[in-house]
Structure 1
Amino acid sequence: MLYSNENMIYPNNFEQRIGIDTIRQFVTEKCLSTLGEEKVAAMDFSTDYATIARWLEQTGEFLQILRNKEDFPVDFFLDVRDTLQRIGEDITAWLSEEEIAGLMNSLQTISDIVAFLHNARTDTGRMKYPSLTFMAGQITVFPLLIDKANSILDKSCQVKDNASRRLADIRRDKAEAAKAITRNMQIAIREAQAAGLIGRDAQPSLREGHMLIPVNAANKRKIKGVVHADSGSGKTVFIEPEAVAAASSRLRELENDERREVARILIEFTNQVRPHLADLMRSYHFMGEMDFIRAKASFALRINGIKPVFENEQQVEWIQAVHPLLNIQLRQQNKEAFPLDIRLNRKDRLLIVSGANAGGKSLCLKTVALLQYMLQCGLLIPVDESSRTGIFDHIFVDIGDGQSIENSLSTYTSHLTNMKFFVENCDNKTLILIDEFGSGTEPQIGGAIAETILDRFNRKHSFGVITTHFQNLKHFAYETDGVVNGAMLYDAERMQPLYRLSIGSPGSSFAVEVARRIGLPEDIIVDSSAKMGEDFINMDNFLQSIARDKLYWEDKRKEITAIERKAIETRAIEAAGSLESSKGKAENSVRKQFLENAVIEKGDSVKLDGQPTVGVILELQGKQATVAFGMMRSTVALKRLTLVSKKRK
């Protein structure tokens, strides 16, 4: 478990449960170097508001760089820290030509990044990326080291001839010695051929660094030189002519001089680097941070993540929130994940989500868990820009099958163990996420225990999203301040989930409706309904009516929006004298008919269309009314209410 005195993340496999481990993999793939990859691996959940705000600001700024397609330096993100550490620990060690090239190129990249950020200005001259520029302002660049390395190395990363005067002299003498070897060999061959000691077609060969002439063994003493080898039969020997041997010896001496001079040059450069090791390490830490931030921004671009409004309080006010991993998966099938509007605040802290199976309840829960954790790791999240986000000190999750084979714990025992931890450790800065609350045991007992635990969460002013099928938890949410119902909407006509969360009313499981739709014999449905009791069936029918009402009003809202848009177009055309006035009047008539006030008043007794239960109007809000049906309250469209009796005066 990720515990500290300040925060707790529960359970210990939290990241695997919600998919953060997969998010890490995606972000790692965007890194340019091991420097950035290490930062991704170390990415951690924070509860410090200023820290998270800084992370989000940095990533948000880099997202702008990517969206603007600016020429941010991305070449030579090289990790040379091990090399620097080696020369720091061993005073006799020095940098190789390849290591100097890596250092030079990566330092140039760091310098280019710093220059890019300092030079990025708005039209008014203000810093374009202030958070990233502040980071760059803390970094030392090393133009002298870069220039020195450039003066030493050529384009092929070899020490230049003019890296020192002595090296230039040595390499010039080396070239002369090489020429002398060739020249002397040609003279020796011509003389041997003229004397008839070797054939006209004889050619020199290179063996073990020596230029040799093949000579008949009988003539080996007639040529001045050193015998180096013979053929397997012994008939031929290979001789290095005396003048060639002298020139070769001179070349080897010069090569040794060259190695010593190159080593001296490299040691001299290394000694210039050593005093700056601490600052250099900080510069490479900066490069790693830039790589990490760039990778986070690149991933945000992929998932449509944004930097939302982030406030130092406990809240989830998300509009159009999308589960990023599900969306990545669906896009491969040319589909899109359904966005959710999710609200947790001081008034409604605990959201009880109900609805049909496979209707998206668990997805809603996992979306909250994943996006909140991502946010507090400094990752941008896929929500609408009008969303408001907050901060939690603790996140507790109970998702999926919690059965422990090692400890021989049943699913329900494991679930209760989690609940014990939650109750003991939750507070008013805790986000609790529980899937299928109270399930796994006898429903009446499980429901009672779940309601009691929910009450404890509420008393501690904790926040959370909890999914359930239990009616008593839906009742509790209606009756209790701080707890609110939510329903994952379901289209009973088409028998398919809509994956839309509606906050304010509970959802039906649609169990009877689904059973009927799939063709379960009617006598089984009738007998089952009788066993459940009339009250239960009426309540489930009531919840289905609420769901239908939600869908009805959402469709009407879309219709109103279309009418308003058309009306605006109509008025514009009419202003130009291009549309008959009768058309505008017809559209205004449609809107007037839809929005006209109902005769129902506060305190009246009403019925929901198709339902026998009588309720009382508690409050009117335009075309909707808050109605009390026994212990339950619901916001219902006036159009779906039938007046039973007027309030007594």
Structure 2
Amino acid sequence: MNEVTRKKLDFDSIANHVSGFCLSDMGRDKLVTAEPLHDRSWLETELQRVLELRLFIEEGLPLPFSSLPDTRPVLRKLEMIDSSLDPFELLAVHDLLLASAQLRKFLFRNRETYPAVNGLTIQLWLEKSLQYAIMRAVDGQGRVRDTASDGLLAIRADLSSGRARLRTKMERLQKRCQANGWLMEDTVAMKNGKLVLGLKVEYRYKLPGFIQDYSQTGQTVFIEPAETLEMSNRIQELEIDERREIERILRELSSLVGEELENIRHNQSLMAVFDSLYARARFAADTSSVLPSLSEGRLLRIVRGFNPWLLVTHRKKGRQVFPLDMELSGAERALVISGPNAGGKSVAMKTVGLLCCMLQHGYLVPCSESSVFPLFDGIHIEIGDEQSIENDLSTFSSHLEQVRGILVLATSRSLVLIDELCSGTDVEEGGAIARAVIEELLARGSTLFVTTHLGSLKAYAHEREGAVNGAMEFDRESLSPSFRFLKGLPGSSFAFAMVRRMGFGDDFLRTAERFLHGKTADLDGVLDDLRAVLEENRRLKGSLERERAELAEEGRRLRKTADEIDRRHLSMKTERARELRREIEEAKKAIREIVREVREHPEREAVEKGRRKLDLHKKELLKEEAVARQETTGVPEGDAAPRKGDLVRVLSTRTTGEVVALQEKEATVQCGAFRLTTSLENLEKISRRGAKELSRDDQARHSGGGWSSRVGSLESTTLDLRGMTGDEAVSAIERFIDRLILNRMRQGTIIHGKGSGALRRRVSVCLKQHPAVREFRIGDWAEGGSGVTIIEL
């Protein structure tokens, strides 16, 4: 992408603004010189890293290092022969290596939360010995430590004692001169690196020594006493030795750094990349930017997309920025936007270009997460009416020169943006040239956005396959733009309406209308009629879609109601079968009593007759039980005894499971994740269908009485998912959307919190796949920010 395009889209302004969030100059340079990414996998990885860092920032976490120096000049210096680093340059290398180690360790510990960023920082070179060597020799203020070497320690010890002796000698001489009244100043001074005494000029020969300086008035002479000369020379020799030892230490450390130059340069490069990622993440958090979907084809859908540069500039001025909603399907490759001046045509076109440009440079963009962007191999733009004075070109000539350059470069994967195509010349000729330009770009397969006032171009877009009209909505009454994009509808310039509103007289307007070409007037009338028809169709389509959704929901509700009736009917049958079993048990008990009486009184015929009746009744009840069991469980009577591998119902716990082992009168049943052992009498064999029906029956009973109580009532249009797992959240979202649809609510709020962002991403995937969700977006600042998602049905 060339510099002109970056400048006209305001991308350079965005990059310069975002560079202010960087921690180092090398990060800033990396950011502003970055090239767009055309490889999908690389781009997705880059965007995911920015997204993870945005979540890191929103959690309020600090970076694990306090500073990030720019080490590029230091490493360039080391590339020179016989060069060595000063203490501050060594400290810069140390701070870079320390920051690299801290960042790598921190992100590795949190690799599950920030996997994409960890994939970058795990490549950092870990080093400890060089850091230790530098800090052992240099302190935080850039001074070489006494302990940097044994030689330096001994030299500084001698220097310290020598300076102490010299100071003592000077103080004695001072007291003697003071007693004699020779001193002009009662302190020991420093002149030309020597300790001196300030004597009155008339006593300058009283003290043997060397004159080092005079005062400005000439009344004071500064003398270095001869008695201290030997001490001073010794100190000077030690200072020279100290400088030589320090130089040796610095050369040695510089050599160690030079041996690891490639590794340090590797860390420098990765840390610059991280710095640029972190700056983009801070900008994303500042503008509530998100990661939209990347289209495999040509689909371009922008939902609540804001111009990022307007967000930055208008915030300072307290002005409102309006969102853009726009969509081009894969078959629609050219959009002709028309409408009045200052209606937002150019802003809408530049917003599309800037969002696409930022996305391919690894920026998150301020729009809804339901937005979809294709990838382009280049963005070409012609906007404005700048004349080329150097080449003596008019406005129209300059415009054509830019268009010709676009035609040379555009490919089937290019995005082309042209403002006021061929509007600076004769209307008919300009319209013909404009159509030829569009035809050429359509033939190449480019994606094209054009703004225009030319009526012929609007008619062309209406008729040409692959092209579509679009307009920026305008209030006829107030003659003010609403900045809402209307697809499939050509716009009007509203020139006469503006003239009338600005106070021109009726006679003037009638005169102007007489000069208006008849076809043009007719075209404006047709556009007004078409606009009304399209608006009515859009309203009817929306009404039809709502009714269709309501019918679908009603059908689903009826199906669920029928299922509920079936389940209840089955439950009633099951309960009846249990009652029959209880009656049978009572009958058996009665039989046992009769048998006992018969044994006690075998001669009684009445007892024998009662016994026969009970036997007959028992057979009838057993027959009814068999029929009921087959209806409820699907298992024939003759197959009632459970065997290994059979599905059974545990009567005492109302649970179902599979028989995994059999003993004499007991069985082991696998019920989900646990096993239980119970008597065979406590088991009831069932079919797989019966197990599913009974499971649904239990779930309905546990949830409070069936579907109508679970789905039919809507206590709130807000769903709180905090604390749930991903699977729990998906199930809760589906039930929440069902309740919204049933109660004819078109908007809802899902609270998932900020946290690591895993739950929010799971919510986003679920909403993208749900057929009833028309769009969704992260909440505004007043709605809860990135901790909530707003859904539209």
Query: TM-score range with shorter-chain normalisation?
Result: 0.7 to 0.9
Report the equivalent of 2:529.
542
Structure number with higher helix proportion: 2
- Aligned counterparts, 1:474-513, within 5 A: 474-513=458-497
Report the equivalent of 2:345.
361
* CA deviation vs aligned residue, 1:410-463 (integer Å, no higher than 9, x gap): 333333344444445433212121222231222222223322332333233221
For the pair 1:101 / 2:87, whether they are aligned, the reply is: no
Are the equivalent residues in 2 in contact too, given 1:507–1:547 (CA < 8 A)?
no
Are the equivalent residues in 1 in contact too, given 2:84–2:251 (CA < 8 A)?
yes
Report the equivalent of 1:599.
none
Report the equivalent of 1:144.
129
Are the equivalent residues in 2 in contact too, given 1:489–1:501 (CA < 8 A)?
yes
Report the equivalent of 2:171.
186
Question: What SS does structure 2 have at the residue aligned with 1:13?
Answer: helix
Specify whether residues 191 and 469 from structure 1 end up closer, same or farther in structure 2 by C-alpha distance, changes over 3 A only. closer
What is the aligned length? 555
Report the equivalent of 2:257.
273
* CA deviation vs aligned residue, 1:578-619 (integer Å, no higher than 9, x gap): xxxxxxxxxx9x99xxxxxxxxxxxxxxxxxxxxxxxxxxxx
Are the equivalent residues in 2 in contact too, given 1:330–1:337 (CA < 8 A)?
yes
Report the equivalent of 1:177.
162
- Aligned counterparts, 1:256-405, within 5 A: 256-405=240-389
Alpha-carbon distance, 1:312 to partner: 4.1
Specify whether residues 256 and 478 from structure 1 end up closer, same or farther in structure 2 by C-alpha distance, changes over 3 A only. same
TM-score, with normalisation over the residues of structure 1? 0.76
Report the equivalent of 1:625.
none
Specify whether residues 203 and 58 from structure 1 end up closer, same or farther in structure 2 by C-alpha distance, changes over 3 A only. closer
Q: Distance in 2 between matches of 1:472 and 1:541?
A: 16
Query: Aligned partner of 1:65: which letter?
Result: F
TM-score, with normalisation over the residues of structure 2? 0.63
Q: Distance in 1 between matches of 2:316 and 2:451?
A: 29
Question: What SS does structure 2 have at the residue aligned with 1:89?
Answer: coil
Specify whether residues 506 and 29 from structure 1 end up closer, same or farther in structure 2 by C-alpha distance, changes over 3 A only. same
Alpha-carbon distance, 1:51 to partner: 3.3
Are the equivalent residues in 1 in contact too, given 2:185–2:199 (CA < 8 A)?
no
- 1:453 pairs with 437, 460, 464, which one? 437
Are the equivalent residues in 2 in contact too, given 1:508–1:543 (CA < 8 A)?
no
Specify whether residues 523 and 537 from structure 1 end up closer, same or farther in structure 2 by C-alpha distance, changes over 3 A only. farther
For the pair 1:44 / 2:29, whether they are aligned, the reply is: no
Compute the RMSD of aligned alpha carbons.
Answer: 3.6
Q: Distance in 2 between matches of 1:556 and 1:510?
A: 30
Are the equivalent residues in 2 in contact too, given 1:397–1:433 (CA < 8 A)?
yes
Specify whether residues 538 and 41 from structure 1 end up closer, same or farther in structure 2 by C-alpha distance, changes over 3 A only. closer
- Aligned counterparts, 1:556-567, within 5 A: none
Are the equivalent residues in 2 in contact too, given 1:510–1:540 (CA < 8 A)?
no
Alpha-carbon distance, 1:153 to partner: 1.9
* CA deviation vs aligned residue, 1:24-53 (integer Å, no higher than 9, x gap): 221222222220121123122343333333
Range 287-296 or range 40-49, more displaced: 40-49
* CA deviation vs aligned residue, 1:372-420 (integer Å, no higher than 9, x gap): 1222222222111111111112322221214322223233333334444
Are the equivalent residues in 2 in contact too, given 1:56–1:307 (CA < 8 A)?
yes
Specify whether residues 71 and 189 from structure 1 end up closer, same or farther in structure 2 by C-alpha distance, changes over 3 A only. closer
Are the equivalent residues in 1 in contact too, given 2:184–2:198 (CA < 8 A)?
no
For the pair 1:157 / 2:142, whether they are aligned, the reply is: yes
Are the equivalent residues in 2 in contact too, given 1:225–1:242 (CA < 8 A)?
yes
Q: Distance in 1 between matches of 2:410 and 2:42?
A: 23
Query: Aligned partner of 1:540: which letter?
Result: L
Specify whether residues 160 and 543 from structure 1 end up closer, same or farther in structure 2 by C-alpha distance, changes over 3 A only. same
Are the equivalent residues in 1 in contact too, given 2:183–2:198 (CA < 8 A)?
no
Question: What SS does structure 2 have at the residue aligned with 1:69?
Answer: coil
Q: Distance in 1 between matches of 2:237 and 2:531?
A: 96
Query: Aligned partner of 2:49: which letter?
Result: Q
Q: Distance in 1 between matches of 2:502 and 2:217?
A: 95
Alpha-carbon distance, 1:215 to partner: 6.1
Are the equivalent residues in 1 in contact too, given 2:183–2:197 (CA < 8 A)?
no
Are the equivalent residues in 1 in contact too, given 2:78–2:85 (CA < 8 A)?
yes
* CA deviation vs aligned residue, 1:162-197 (integer Å, no higher than 9, x gap): 222222222222221111112223344456677x58
Are the equivalent residues in 1 in contact too, given 2:159–2:235 (CA < 8 A)?
yes
Query: Aligned partner of 2:101: which letter?
Result: S
Specify whether residues 519 and 570 from structure 1 end up closer, same or farther in structure 2 by C-alpha distance, changes over 3 A only. farther
Are the equivalent residues in 2 in contact too, given 1:396–1:422 (CA < 8 A)?
yes
Q: Distance in 2 between matches of 1:541 and 1:148?
A: 80
Q: Distance in 2 between matches of 1:82 and 1:412?
A: 48
For the pair 1:30 / 2:15, whether they are aligned, the reply is: no
Alpha-carbon distance, 1:285 to partner: 1.2
Query: Aligned partner of 1:97: which letter?
Result: P
Question: What SS does structure 2 have at the residue aligned with 1:306?
Answer: coil
Question: What SS does structure 2 have at the residue aligned with 1:348?
Answer: coil
Query: Aligned partner of 1:365: which letter?
Result: M
Range 233-242 or range 352-361, more displaced: 233-242
Q: Distance in 1 between matches of 2:91 and 2:51?
A: 33
Are the equivalent residues in 2 in contact too, given 1:308–1:388 (CA < 8 A)?
yes
Alpha-carbon distance, 1:503 to partner: 1.1
Q: Distance in 2 between matches of 1:476 and 1:232?
A: 91
Range 219-228 or range 383-392, more displaced: 219-228
Specify whether residues 432 and 177 from structure 1 end up closer, same or farther in structure 2 by C-alpha distance, changes over 3 A only. same
For the pair 1:13 / 2:7, whether they are aligned, the reply is: no
For the pair 1:532 / 2:518, whether they are aligned, the reply is: yes
- Aligned counterparts, 1:413-424, within 5 A: 413-424=397-408
* CA deviation vs aligned residue, 1:206-237 (integer Å, no higher than 9, x gap): 33333344568898787666666688999987
For the pair 1:67 / 2:58, whether they are aligned, the reply is: yes
Query: Aligned partner of 1:129: which letter?
Result: Y
Report the equivalent of 1:514.
498
Report the equivalent of 2:108.
118
Are the equivalent residues in 1 in contact too, given 2:300–2:372 (CA < 8 A)?
yes
Are the equivalent residues in 2 in contact too, given 1:227–1:237 (CA < 8 A)?
yes
Greater C-alpha radius of gyration: 2
Report the equivalent of 2:634.
none
Query: Aligned partner of 1:461: which letter?
Result: G
Alpha-carbon distance, 1:546 to partner: 4.7
Specify whether residues 552 and 161 from structure 1 end up closer, same or farther in structure 2 by C-alpha distance, changes over 3 A only. same
Are the equivalent residues in 2 in contact too, given 1:512–1:525 (CA < 8 A)?
yes
Identity of aligned residues (%): 30
Report the equivalent of 1:602.
none
Report the equivalent of 2:707.
none
Q: Distance in 2 between matches of 1:24 and 1:497?
A: 30
Specify whether residues 554 and 399 from structure 1 end up closer, same or farther in structure 2 by C-alpha distance, changes over 3 A only. farther
Report the equivalent of 1:89.
80
Q: Distance in 2 between matches of 1:322 and 1:232?
A: 70
Report the equivalent of 1:582.
none
Alpha-carbon distance, 1:522 to partner: 3.7
